[in-house]
C-alpha cells in the first residue's frame, strides 16, 4: 500500500507540467536553434533561411530572415546583447551572420568555403565575452573550432 501511495504521489508531480505547441504554421521548416532572452523574448533558427522572433512568449512570431544569404540552414543562434544576435549557417559556404538591430540588417562576419565544412553549434560565454563555434573535422580527427572575442565580431572573424 505504501508503494502505491508513493507512486501516486510522484506521478502527480509529473502530470503537473503543461506544454504548449507554438508556431505550427510553417510545417516545411526544420527548427534547430533556440536562444532565450527572457520569458517573453526568444529566437528560433531553422532551415530555409528561417529566423523567427517572439516578443510575447510565443503568441506571435516575426520573421527576421537575413537577406544577405539565401537558402541557408541555420543550426544555432545566440543572443549576445539586446537586439544583437549571431546565427550559424552550417555547410559550404558556412556562415556566421550578425545583427545589431534586432534582425533588420544582417552582416556576414565569417565565411568558409571549404567543401567539407559543416558547423554544428555556437556558444556565447557571456562572462569572458567570447564566442565559440564547433564543427565536424575537416582534415584531421579533431573538431573544427573557431573562437573570437565578442568585441571583434563587428569586424568579422578571420
**CATH code of residue 147:** 2.120.10.30
Is residue 24 in a domain?
Answer: no
Look at residue 7 and tell me whether its pLDDT is greater than 50.
Answer: no
Indicate whether 15 belongs to any domain: no
Three cell numbers at 1? Answer: 500500500
For residues 55 and 43, give the distance between their C-alpha atoms in angstroms, rounded to a whole number.
9
The answer as to whether 2 is a domain residue is: no
Q: Is the pLDDT score of 23 beyond 60?
A: no
pTM of the predicted protein model: 0.81
d(CA 154, CA 21): 36
Give the Cβ contact number of residue 73 at 10 Å: 17
Identify whether 21 is part of a domain: no
Secondary structure class of 150 (helix, strand, coil)? helix
Cell 582534415, residue located? 139
Which residue from 44, 13, 12 is spatially nearest to 29, judged by alpha carbons? Answer: 44
d(CA 16, CA 75): 32
Q: Is 23 among the domain residues? A: no
Residue 138 lies in a domain: yes
* 17: helix, strand or coil: coil
Q: Which helix (H) or strand (E) holds 10?
A: helix 2-14
**What size, in residues, is the chain?**
158
Give the model confidence (pLDDT) of 57-93 as tens digits. Answer: 989 999 999 999 998 999 999 999 989 999 999 999 9
What's the total number of domains in the chain?
Answer: 1
Q: What is the mean pLDDT of residues 137-148?
A: 91
Residue 20 covered by a domain = no
Contacts of 143 (CB under 8 A, 6+ apart): 134, 135, 136, 137
Domain carrying residue 132: 30-155
Query: Is 76 a domain residue?
Result: yes
Q: What's the pLDDT band for 153 if we cut at 50, 70, 90?
A: confident
Sort strands 130-135 and 144-149 into parallel, antiparallel or unpaired: antiparallel
Amino acid at each position: 500500500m505504501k508503494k502505491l501511495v508513493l507512486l501516486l504521489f510522484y506521478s502527480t508531480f509529473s502530470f503537473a507540467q503543461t506544454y504548449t505547441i507554438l508556431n505550427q504554421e510553417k510545417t516545411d521548416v526544420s527548427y534547430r536553434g533556440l536562444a532565450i532572452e527572457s520569458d517573453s523574448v526568444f529566437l528560433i533558427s531553422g532551415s530555409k533561411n528561417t529566423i523567427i522572433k517572439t516578443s510575447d512568449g510565443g503568441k506571435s512570431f516575426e520573421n527576421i530572415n537575413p537577406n544577405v544569404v539565401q537558402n541557408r540552414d541555420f543550426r544555432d543562434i545566440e543572443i549576445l546583447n539586446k537586439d544583437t544576435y549571431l546565427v550559424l549557417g552550417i555547410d559550404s559556404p558556412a556562415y556566421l551572420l550578425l545583427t545589431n538591430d534586432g534582425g533588420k540588417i544582417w552582416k556576414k562576419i565569417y565565411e568558409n568555403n571549404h567543401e567539407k565544412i559543416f558547423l554544428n553549434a555556437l556558444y556565447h560565454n557571456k562572462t569572458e565575452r567570447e564566442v565559440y563555434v564547433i564543427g565536424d573535422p575537416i582534415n584531421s580527427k579533431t573538431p573544427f573550432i573557431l573562437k573570437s572575442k565578442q568585441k571583434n565580431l563587428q569586424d568579422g572573424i578571420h
